Amino acid sequence: MQLTIHRGTQEIGGSCLEVVSGKTRLILDVGMPLLDRKGNSLDWMRLGQASKEELDSRGLIPPVSGLFSAGSPPAAIVLTHGHLDHTGLVDRTDPTIPIYATRGTSKMMLAGNLFARQVALPRERSRELTPRESVEIGAFRVTAFSVDHSIFGSAALLVEAEGQSLLYSGDLRLHGRKPGMATEIFASCGKREIDVLVMEGTHLGQPQDDQRTEYELEEQLVAEINSTSGLVLASFSPQHVDRTVSFIRAAIRTGRTFVADAYTAFVLHLVSSETRVPVPGKSPGYPVFFPKFLKRSKKRELLDRICPFMAEAEIRLEVILNDPQKYLMVFRPSMISSDFSGELPAECLCLYSRWYGYLEQPEWRDAVLHLDRVGGRLNEAHASGHIYVDDIRRFIAGVNPRVVIPVHSFAPHEIKQFDCNVQLLSDGMPLELE
Ligand SMILES: [Zn+2]
């Protein structure tokens, strides 16, 4: 088996790996990079509309034969999860290539496409990966294992061919609500020898001062909510269902009503067949707020068709503003001008539960200034979606591979601190597994 990491050996984002056995080529993830070649942040919203030629000229399309252009196409693309830095170039690939993803990933990509203009998973190309059930693709056998990450449906991939095995961690963490998922991987890997572990290392080389777990975050949310008598606003990714659960649990524990927006409510509806979550419109006591931009839009029509029950749980902003101390509502900055008519209620608290870097964006800078003006505040309340450094050591020990190759990291050499056989690769450099 041969492995080539086309992008991701020295950076976070833009992940794209290729494995080859005989005549079969498989692509694992086709992500959009976070940074351009000069190290500047990329505007994903704009790049989603950019031409393939522009992406190519800026070096954003990895040179993989037949994946984006002429040449014999790979047998399949296999996705670990729905984040754009792993899927963002899917719509630029040869339309004849089938795409394997878990049902959860298909659902998150559907919701992300509908509400956040993220890349879609074309239905006719979609093939389902069921966790723990192997699929044969040409010379390969591929098995997905569910992992805990900041988007529902995430998986690690075990790829086997020619008596060799490679485990690609995708993105994951061991400090979430589902630590048992890693235990399951360790148990499965214990039954066979893993030749290569391709391990995500987002936190390598970064400060290790904040190692909050999802449960500790929930405690923080409860304390923050208890410290305010005004409206609580919550900003997080609706695709991160475990984070939604943390906010719902904190709302229950502080006696507040959790108000989902339509995006969050739709995701809860989608995942409710796979995991136990309340569904606004079906579970009593879970209202939905429909932001103004949705009203009378095609999205609203579609939503009314797919989830007619949701409209019955609609809550109007006036109701919330009459008793702001009773509610915790999902929020995004654009709502200040469109829904709150330019004025958030006095003394409201915004709990910001996303990557801190987004706070540099103009809409968040303006929101912070606005909160300040009305006597409110924004507090960060976040737990990373990526594995902490001490847990990387635990994960490697649990899988016990012959070789570890770091990926999705700006400091891959830091993995040498662990007691394991490390191989550092460069982008595009093929490695024959021994
Ligand atoms: Zn991710």
Instruction: Tell me the CATH number at 80.
Output: 3.60.15.10
Q: Say if strands 196-200 and 403-407 run parallel, antiparallel, or are unpaired.
A: parallel
The pair of structure tokens assigned to 188 is 């499965």
Residue 252 C-alpha to ligand 1 middle, in angstroms? 28
Ligand 1 centroid–CA 13 distance in Å is 9
Ligand 1 centroid distance, CA of 153 (Å): 11
Q: How far is the CA of 258 from the centre of ligand 1 (A)?
A: 26
| 224 and 267, same domain (yes or no) | yes
Tell me the CA–centroid distance for residue 124 and ligand 1, in Å: 25
In which domain, by residue range, is 312 found?
214-380
The dihedral through the CA atoms of 60, 62, 68, 70 has a sign that is positive
396: Cα within 13 Å, side-chain hemisphere: 24
Q: What average pLDDT does this structure show over 99-110?
A: 98
Whether 264 shows a pLDDT value over 90: the answer reads: yes
State the Cα–Cα distance between residues 118 and 139, nearest whole angstrom: 32
82 CA → ligand 1 middle, Å: 7
Q: What is the pLDDT of residue 289?
A: 96
Same domain, yes or no: 170 and 29: yes
* Residues 44-64: tens digit of each pLDDT: 888 888 888 899 888 899 999
* 344 and 284 inside one domain: yes
> How far apart are the CA of 385 and the centre of ligand 1, in A?
7
Cα–ligand 1 centroid distance for 149 (angstroms): 7
**The pLDDT value given to residue 320:** 97
Mean pLDDT of 409-421: 94
Give CA–CA dist 147/76, Å, rounded. 22
DSSP 31: P
Distance 151 CA to ligand 1 centre (A): 7
Residues 392 and 340 grouped into a single domain: no
Distance (Å) from CA 239 to ligand 1 centroid? 11
Confidence class of residue 142 from pLDDT cuts 50, 70 and 90? very high
Cα–ligand 1 centroid distance for 83 (angstroms): 5
Instruction: Tell me the percentage of the chain whose pLDDT exceeds 70.
Output: 100
Looking at the fold, whether 266 and 390 belong to one and the same domain comes out as: no
- Domain shared by 162 and 254, yes or no: no
Distance (Å) from CA 150 to ligand 1 centroid: 7
| Residues 6+ away with beta carbon under 8 Å from 321 | 231, 345
Bridge partners, 327 (sequence order): 257
Confidence band of 336 (pLDDT split at 50, 70, 90):
very high
Taking the centre of ligand 1 as the mean of its atom positions, its distance from the CA of residue 68, in whole angstroms, is 22
The proportion of the chain whose per-residue pLDDT surpasses 90, expressed as a percent, equals 85
d(CA 380, CA 241): 18
Domain termination residue (choose one: 344, 363, 380): 380
pTM of the model: 0.96
Q: Confidence band (pLDDT; 50, 70, 90) for 359?
A: very high
Token pair 């460069």 is found at: 426
User: Final residue of a domain: which of 380, 400, 420?
Assistant: 380
Residue 209 pLDDT grade (very low, low, confident, very high; cuts 50, 70, 90): confident
Same domain for 226 and 348? yes
d(CA 355, ligand 1 centre) in Å: 12
Q: Is it the case that residue 69 has pLDDT exceeding 90? A: no
**Cα(243)–Cα(224) distance, rounded to whole angstroms?**
16
**pLDDT score, position 291:** 92
Q: Are residues 391 and 375 in the same domain?
A: no
Region for 57 from its dihedrals, namely left if φ exceeds 0, alpha if ψ lies in -120 to 50, beta otherwise: alpha
Q: Where residue 103 falls among pLDDT bands split at 50, 70, 90?
A: very high
CB atoms within 10 A of CB 287: 21
> Confidence class of residue 226 from pLDDT cuts 50, 70 and 90?
very high
Q: What is the CATH number of the domain that holds 357?
A: 3.40.50.10710
Alpha carbons within 13 A on the beta-carbon side of 300: 13
The mean of the pLDDT values for the chain is 95
Report CA(264)–ligand 1 centroid distance (Å). 18
Note whether 425 and 372 are same-domain residues.
no
Distance 292 CA to ligand 1 centre (A): 30
Please write the tens of the pLDDT for every residue from 367-380: 999 999 999 999 99
According to the model, what pLDDT value does residue 191 have?
Answer: 83
Strand 155-161 relative to strand 164-168: parallel, antiparallel, unpaired? Answer: antiparallel
- Cα–Cα distance, 188 to 185 (Å, whole number): 5
For ligand 1, the distance from its centroid to the CA atom of residue 316, given in whole angstroms, is 34
Residues 179 and 316 in one domain: no
**Confidence label for 190 from pLDDT (cuts 50, 70 and 90):** confident
Amino acid, res. 191: K
Same domain for 187 and 40: yes
Q: Are residues 128 and 272 in the same domain?
A: no
Pairing assessment for the beta strands 377-380 and 155-161 based on DSSP bridges: unpaired
Angle between helices 241-253 and 262-271 (to 10 degrees): 110
d(CA 373, ligand 1 centre) in Å: 35
The Å distance, Cα 353 to ligand 1 centre, comes to 15
Domain count, the chain: 2
Phi, psi of 319, deg, nearest 5: -65, -40
Please tell me the predicted confidence (pLDDT) of residue 44.
Answer: 83
pLDDT of residue 299: 84
C-alpha 351 – ligand 1 centre gap (Å): 21
pLDDT-derived band at 300 (thresholds 50, 70, 90) equals confident
Determine the pLDDT at residue 43: 85
Task: Report the pLDDT value the prediction gives residue 157, as an integer from 0 to 100.
Answer: 98
pLDDT, position 40: 82
